[in-house]
């Protein structure tokens, strides 16, 4: 059963059922960040995490999370 929670990123209230503890708007932003990272890593496979973060303007913390979740491969 869905429950009301605060988004961990923007603190807005949203209906949570399963998955990340972020609202749909923040999830959409995160998916766009993931796509930028994925494309960059595909085009520059030898890049370091610092280089990826700088080039894509996505935080290293979020890139590490993508790796931990298995969404990105080194």
What would the pLDDT profile of 12-56 be if each residue is shown by its tens digit?
999 888 777 899 999 999 999 999 999 999 999 999 999 999 999
Q: What's the predicted TM-score (pTM) here?
A: 0.84
* Strand-pair partners of 25: none
Give the closest residue to 34 by CA, choosing from 11, 13, 2, 59.
59
- Across the chain, the runs of DSSP E, i.e. the strands, are 3-6, 13-16
């Amino acid at each position: 059963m869905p429950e009301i929670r605060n988004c961990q990123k923007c603190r807005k209230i949203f209906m949570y059922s399963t998955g990340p503890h972020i609202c749909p708007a923040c999830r959409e932003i995160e998916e766009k960040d993931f796509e930028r990272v994925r494309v960059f890593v595909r085009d520059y496979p030898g890049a370091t995490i610092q280089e990826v973060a700088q080039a894509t303007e996505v935080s290293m913390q979020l890139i590490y999370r993508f790796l931990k979740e298995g969404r990105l491969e080194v």
